């Protein structure tokens, strides 16, 4: 694929942002989360007015759609119908497998054989030869014999916690764990302790404190291989040791690193020499494996059976379709092959090029080199203006604001892919930095005018 032309004039449409009403510039979804009133339908209105005001003032960078495959360049359509073509730093396709010829042919083969349905829940006859083979192959890759597929990664995360944890049990989780894990914990017990991000000692203290007074009930400790908004990784070995010491169970969500990182692509767990040694591994196919879907890998057949029966979304949602299972199988073959190593090396080169470019222009990326590159923006208004300027100037980035990240800690979440050339990654970085710097100037003027 050819590099993106770097000769595009950066033209911030500053006039767009001269008089932003406070409804569009401020507030977060927290403001509208607990509406009052007897009519459940009409009380949705205030949130809608807020998103409409943001949209009218070009400050609503959500619910956008791709016009074609998620390559390094993409055409993106806003809810308003406006379309921009640009460098795509906003898709989750870390190894660029979504248009790989072998993946497309696996999908076509499965369609020919099975059609395009999902024929039922896994509890009935929703499984197929493809999904059973996928479970075996994932078990082989993760050195964890007992694998269960879910229709999405979200369902896997929520389902495992809901299946294993009862109201008398405890969850100790990293405060930044993904929403599916947080919601699974909240739905299962009130005994949820959120621990400072990556703080191993705080995990030890929390688990020890629970065990000091409760030796009868379970403790599920939850963390991630790569945190989705911070691009960092816990000490998995230390957490597993703590769990062994206190009779707790560790679960690691490898949604972002499985396939894209670690030796043989089998995640940060493998990078830390812990493959086959973590109690529960859970992940998603939607970041690297070109499909919806998720999985959980455990060691004992009894645990797998228990999750089947009590993990709500496994039993009460239709299973992964045969096309999806065939796609993920083929993706896993590539991930584990020499080609996978080459794609991961290309991905890392693009990540390093992006981070280097942005840093040399005076902006900080945080976390470690992973397919996720978070750039702190801070004030929401800067992020809202910045994403629009980026869009207008040919680079597509995702903005994360509350509730995805704390209020006042909004950020651009860049996602790199193996099919970003280094030149494109650098050009993308230059445009994002230009958008961010200009957005800060504009937002400052807004504040001054209003002040």
Ligand X SMILES: Cc1ncc(COP(=O)(O)O)c(C=O)c1O
Rounded Cα–Cα distance for residues 127 and 322 (Å)? 8
| Total residues binding ligand X (CB under 6 A) | 14
Burial class (CB in 10 A: 0-12, 13-18, 19+), 34: exposed
Q: Which is nearer to ligand X, 157 or 234 (CB)?
A: 157
Q: Which is nearer to ligand X, 177 or 418 (CB)?
A: 177
For ligand X, the binding residue among 86, 153, 394, 429 (CB under 6 A) is: 153
Task: For residues 366 and 356, give the distance between their C-alpha atoms in angstroms, rounded to a whole number.
Answer: 12
Shortest approach of ligand X to residue 319 CB, angstroms?
Answer: 15
Give dist(CA 271, CA 260) in Å, integer: 12
Smallest distance, ligand X to C-beta of residue 224, A: 5
Question: Least Å distance between CB 254 and ligand X?
Answer: 8
Q: Going by C-beta distance under 8 Å and a sequence separation of 6 or more, which residues neighbour residue 245? A: none
* Choice from 61, 157, 259, 386 touching ligand X (CB under 6 A): 157
State which H helix or E strand residue 328 sits in: helix 322-335
Provide φ and ψ at 138, rounded to 5°.
-65, -40
User: What residue number has its CB nearest to ligand X?
Assistant: 153
Instruction: Kindly give the pairing relationship between strand 249-253 and strand 219-224.
Output: parallel
Helices (H), 27-152: 45-56, 101-114, 129-142
For the bound state, the minimum distance from the C-beta of residue 157 to ligand X, rounded and expressed in Å, comes to 5
Pick the closer one to ligand X by CB: 180 or 347: 180
* Contact residues for 52 (Cβ-Cβ < 8 A; gap 6+): none
Task: Please select the residue that binds ligand X; options are 130, 135, 224, 380, rule is CB under 6 A.
Answer: 224
Helix residue ranges per DSSP H, 34-122: 45-56, 101-114
Nearer to ligand X, 27 or 256 (CB): 256
According to the binding rule CB under 6 A, does residue 152 interact with ligand X?
yes
Nearer to ligand X, 24 or 149 (CB): 149
Binding of ligand X at residue 91 (CB under 6 A)?
no
Is residue 317 within the footprint of ligand X (CB under 6 A)? no
Stretch that binds ligand X, among 15-23, 149-157, 263-271, 329-337 (CB under 6 A): 149-157
> Is residue 353 within 8 Å of 417, Cβ to Cβ?
no
Site for ligand X in 183-212 (CB under 6 A): none
Question: Should residue 438 be labelled a site residue for ligand X when binding is judged by CB under 6 A?
Answer: no
| Contact pick of 228, 233, 240, 387 for ligand X (by CB under 6 A) | 228
For residues 387 and 412, is the Cβ–Cβ distance under 8 A?
yes
Is residue 422 a contact partner of residue 110, using CB atoms and an 8 Å limit?
A: no
Residue 226 CB, shortest distance to ligand X, in Å, is 8
C-beta atoms surrounding 251 within 10 Å: 27
Which residues 241-300 are close enough to bind ligand X by CB under 6 A?
Answer: 253, 255-256, 284, 286, 294
Name the residue with tokens 């989750």.
92
> Closest CB to ligand X among 60 and 154?
154
Contacting positions for ligand X (CB under 6 A): 152-154, 157, 178, 180, 224, 228, 253, 255-256, 284, 286, 294
């Amino acid at each position: 694929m050819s590099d993106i032309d770097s000769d595009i004039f950066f033209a911030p449409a500053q006039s767009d942002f001269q008089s932003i009403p406070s409804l569009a510039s401020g507030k977060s979804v927290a403001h509208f989360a607990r509406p009052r009133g007897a009519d459940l339908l009409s009380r949705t209105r205030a949130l809608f007015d807020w998103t409409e005001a943001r949209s009218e003032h070009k400050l609503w960078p959500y619910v956008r759609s791709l016009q074609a495959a998620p390559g390094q360049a993409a055409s993106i359509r806003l809810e308003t119908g406006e379309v921009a073509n640009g460098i795509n730093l906003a898709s989750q396709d870390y190894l660029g497998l979504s248009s790989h010829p072998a993946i497309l042919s696996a999908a076509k083969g499965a369609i020919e054989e099975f059609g395009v349905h999902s024929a039922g829940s896994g509890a009935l006859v929703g499984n197929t030869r493809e999904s059973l083979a996928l479970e075996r192959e994932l078990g082989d890759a993760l050195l964890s014999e007992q694998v269960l597929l879910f229709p999405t990664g979200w369902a896997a995360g929520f389902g495992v916690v809901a299946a294993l944890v009862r109201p008398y049990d405890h969850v100790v989780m990293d405060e930044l764990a993904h929403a599916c894990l947080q919601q699974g914990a909240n739905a299962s017990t009130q005994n949820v302790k959120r621990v400072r991000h990556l703080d191993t000692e705080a995990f030890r203290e929390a688990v020890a404190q629970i065990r000091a007074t409760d030796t009868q009930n379970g403790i599920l400790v939850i963390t991630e291989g790569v945190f989705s908004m911070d691009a960092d990784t816990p000490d998995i070995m230390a957490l597993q040791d703590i769990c062994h010491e206190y009779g707790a169970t560790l679960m690691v969500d490898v949604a972002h690193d499985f396939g894209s990182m670690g030796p043989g692509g089998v995640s940060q767990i493998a990078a830390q020499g812990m493959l086959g040694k973590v109690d529960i591994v859970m992940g998603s196919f939607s970041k690297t494996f070109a499909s919806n879907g998720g999985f959980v890998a455990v060691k004992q057949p009894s645990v797998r059976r228990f999750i089947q029966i009590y993990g709500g979304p496994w039993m009460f949602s239709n299973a992964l379709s045969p096309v999806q299972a065939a796609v993920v199988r083929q993706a896993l073959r590539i991930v584990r092959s020499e080609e996978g190593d080459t794609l991961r090396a290309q991905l890392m080169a693009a990540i390093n090029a992006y981070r280097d470019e942005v840093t040399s222009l005076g902006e900080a990326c945080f976390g470690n080199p992973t397919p996720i590159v978070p750039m702190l923006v801070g004030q929401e208004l800067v992020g809202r203006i910045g994403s629009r300027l980026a869009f207008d100037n040919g680079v597509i980035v995702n903005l994360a604001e509350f509730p995805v990240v704390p209020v006042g800690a909004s950020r651009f979440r860049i996602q790199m892919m193996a099919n970003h050339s280094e030149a494109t990654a650098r050009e993308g970085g230059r445009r994002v930095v230009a958008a961010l710097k200009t957005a800060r100037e504009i937002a400052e003027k807004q504040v001054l005018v209003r002040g």
